[in-house]
Each structure stands twice: as C-alpha cells, then as structure tokens.
Amino acid sequence: MDNSLRERISILPEMMDLLNQQIKQEQLASSSYLAMAAWCDQNGFSNSAKLFYDQSKEEREHMMKLFGYITNNGGAAISPSVEPVNHSFLSLRDVFESALNMEIDVTKKIHTLMSTARKLEDYNTELCLQWFVHEQMEEEQFFRDIIQMIELMGDSPLQLIDDRIKRENH
Ligand code: FEO
C-alpha cells in the first residue's frame, strides 16, 4: 500500500464494522416506517401515512449519512440487505407505539456506538455520532408526544386523531 492510500484510510476497522451494522439498523427503520405508512394508508389514516413516508425517507438519509462517513474516511461501506419487517398492527396507537419502541432500540445502539468510539479514542466518529444522539432524542420525544395526544383524545373518532396528527406534524 502506498503512503497516499494509507493516509486516506483513517477509519478504525472495529469502528467501521459497528457503523456498518448501524447502517443496517437505519435501513431496517426505513423499511419498517414504510410498512407503517402502508398500514395507515390501507386503514384510511392518510395524515399518519404521510408522517411515516416522511420518516422512512429520513431514516434512509440517516443510513446514507453513515454510509458517506465510512466512504469519506477511506472505509468500505456495505449496502445492507433488506430484512423482513412487521406489516400487521392492531390499531393506530399500536403503530405509534411500535415506532417509539423502534426508536428507543436505535437510541440504545447509538449510545453503545458512542461509548465504543470513546473507548477507542475515535474522536471523528464521536463527532459524527453526536448528531445521531441529538436526532434520537428528538425522534423519541416526537413519538412520545403523539402517543400522549392519542391517550388524551381517548375515545375520539380515529379520523379526528389522524387530523390532529396532521396539525402536530406541521
Ligand atoms: Fe435513524 Fe430514528 O433512527
């Protein structure tokens, strides 16, 4: 390996493997949100469907952010295979609770990545991950607020809840 190539490979292999696993998680989140959007569309909740289509797109952007980070640091980013995701939900509330649970799971994984980056004294990756830590905080709060709103609206017609979701999302 010549020196110019060596200088371009700055990402640690251990960190790269973990970031590739996270790429898979973000892809899984994107696919899961697409399934949630489809369920909402099929059940007449068009505002919630739009919210989940947007979320799906955002998760793909998260995946590409990590993908770009690995390649820009001379690593080998791996295009993830698409895993099967859940398409059946009991209710609109169940969809949003599943979304929140998924985000809580992603947050845990991001925190584990962050502590590994710190252990390895990989400050570049730590900086990259800080964006994700903040994003996860916002996403969890976003879904908690919607679930709380659904709880407060109690037995209101589901279509009213869906209309309210449109307003919350703007
Ligand atoms: Fe990118 Fe919300 O996980």
The CATH number that applies at residue 34 is 1.20.1260.10
Name the residue range of residue 122's domain.
8-77+86-168
Residue closest via CA to ligand 1's atom 1 equals 59
Q: Sign of torsion, CA 47 48 53 58?
A: positive
The SS3 assignment for 111 reads helix
Tell me whether residue 3 is in a domain: no
* Res 154: pLDDT: 81
Give per-residue pLDDT as tens, 76-112. Answer: 999 999 899 999 999 999 999 999 999 999 999 999 9
* Res 4: pLDDT: 57
Decide whether any atom of ligand 1 lies within 6 Å of the 59 Cβ: yes
Q: What is the mean pLDDT of each run of 10 residues along the chain (170 residues)?
A: 60 96 98 98 95 97 98 96 95 96 98 98 97 98 94 81 76
- Distance (Å) from CA 20 to ligand 1 centroid: 14
- Distance (Å) from CA 103 to ligand 1 centroid: 6
Domain count along the chain: 1
* Res 10: pLDDT: 85
Would the pTM count as exceeding 0.85?
Answer: yes
* Res 156: pLDDT: 75
Q: Alpha-carbon distance 114 to 132, whole Å?
A: 10
